[in-house]
Amino acid sequence: MPDRKPSVVNIALVGGGNICREVLKKTTFDLTHDSVNAPVLAVADPDSSSPGMRQAEEFGLLTFSDYHDLYDRRYNIHLIILLTPDETILEDILATRPTRIRIMAFNVFNVFWKALHAEENKLRKRNEEIETILNGIQDYIMVISPGMDIIEVNDAYLNKMRYSRKDVIGRKCHEIYQQLIYPCDESEYDCPLGDVIRNKRPCRQVRTRVDPDGDPLHIEVSVYPVWEKDGKISKFIHISRDITQQKLEEEEITRRLEHMVEERTRQLKETHDKLLHQDKMSSLGKLSASVVHEINNPIAGILNLTMLMKRIIGEESIGRKKDIETFLHYLTLMEAETRRISRIVTNLLAFSRESKMEFKKVDINRLIDKTLFLNANLLKLNGVKIEKCYYTDLPDIIGSEDCLQQVFMNIISNAAENIEADKSGILSVKTRFLKTSNKVSISFEDTGVAIPKADVSKIFEPFFTTKKKGKGVGLGLSVAYGLIRDHNGTIYVKPGEEKGNIFTIRLPLKQPALTPDQRGGFYG
């Protein structure tokens, strides 16, 4: 069923004293207001100059010198309230009033009026307390209506912005905040009230404004909606907090932290440089000891063989086939030891190089063939069979031919030494073009002894080697790793389950533009 609108009860007051004026001020409303159903229409008092009569005339109410005129049906009075304690007037009205008009005696009315006064005093006291609390809060508090009218502010806001209450109360918020005579354009101004209306929840923003002196203010704005029972917004509670000093302190803290970080970074760099220098000196000592030992062994072997050959020549003539075979065997051993010395020195130079790499077009298939040819004797001595599977029309890359040859040389010689044990191994060399990544892939797969899985992560570290003592100083693969990295490529190893290893290299076709310093060596 639809709600029924309450019927209107028209009231007339008899007695125009001070109490009448007070009642009119507190109970006379706009008759068009939906909630009003008991309006005061008339006042009766023989003294037209009494306070109540003057107030009634000011409000435009009906006034009568004789209260009997209130009985007239034209005025449709339903209730007469006596505001005078005169018992004769009460008795007369009770005797003369039409039955359709009710009456409230002064004593009854006075009981209710005092009760209302008591509640009013409580509310007034409560409002004063709330007002004192609001004015004691240093945040800037503003109450805004749904129509964007400012209906209340606290003292903190007025003092900060140097406004008086009359400068603010009743004005639109956009007039005060943005100095605009029209509502804010939300495409230009991110209005927090609009945000609350759209999202139906409180909003928090940090805004930058200007104070009366023209100085910037950083304001934290929080807007809380107050809801009515029907779901509409009754008002907005707009709370602003000046965080300018906090912002300045944060900026100062940030500046100090940045300075501390810079200072700490400088100290760490100095410490790192010192540790790096110490590490280099330690590495240099280790390198020197290893190199001296590794070079001394083959030199001693060559020297012994040379002395042996001289003794044979001095003791007997050389002419027999057996002597020739012996000499050839000695010469082969001397060649192998000489090559070993050459590899050690080459790796040492590459490890500590400071020369700049010259980048140009490189045919990888041709370069691998060249490297295999240079190592043909070593591969033959170790019984290594070569299997090649080259990608047809492999595109050239941009790189250093000398450096890449050094990489291939190290991997091939390592594979040959790894296969040396059984003299019947295979080294498979494959090239591919990876179209998706625009890179060239080169793999070397041998059938020698597999690298222990525990050593795979350390295989490219300087001075680490899985060879027997006297067979290497652990620089070859470290140099290879550095050279490939200088080419913006990758190199990794995958040991087999039982035997063999696969070294895979991937190189981009082109190199990014490098500065002269970047084109220095791996350890330069």
pLDDT digit string, tens, across residues 118-143: 887 887 777 777 777 666 677 788 88
Q: What is the pTM of this model?
A: 0.39
The strands making up 426-434's β-sheet, listed across from edge to edge, are: 385-389, 426-434, 439-446, 501-508, 490-495
pLDDT of residue 277: 64
Which residues are registered as beta bridge partners of 470? Answer: none
- Beta carbons of 192 and 205 less than 8 angstroms apart: yes
The residue with greater pLDDT, 229 or 337, is 229
Roughly what angle, to the nearest 10 degrees, separates helices 321-351 and 401-419? 130
Flag whether pLDDT at 203 surpasses 80: yes
397-409 pLDDT tens trace: 999 888 888 888 8
What are the tens digits of pLDDT across the range 415-431?
A: 887 776 566 788 899 99
Quick one: pLDDT at residue 390?
93
CATH code of the region 138-242: 3.30.450.20
Average pLDDT, the chain: 79
Q: Give me the pLDDT at residue 317, please.
A: 58
CATH of domain 356-508: 3.30.565.10
Domain limits, the chain: 11-120, 138-242, 252-352, 356-508
Distance linking the first and last C-alpha atoms of the chain: 94
Longest CA pairwise span in the chain (Å) = 173
How does strand 203-210 pair with strand 150-153? unpaired
Listed in sequence order, the residues at least 6 apart from 449 whose beta carbon sits closer than 8 Å to its beta carbon are 418, 421, 499
> Which phi and psi (to 5°) does residue 236 adopt?
-110, 135
Q: pLDDT value at position 499?
A: 82
Instruction: For domain 11-120, give the fold.
Output: Rossmann fold (3.40.50)
* Domain 252-352 part of CATH 1.10.287: yes
Give the DSSP letter of residue 149. Answer: B
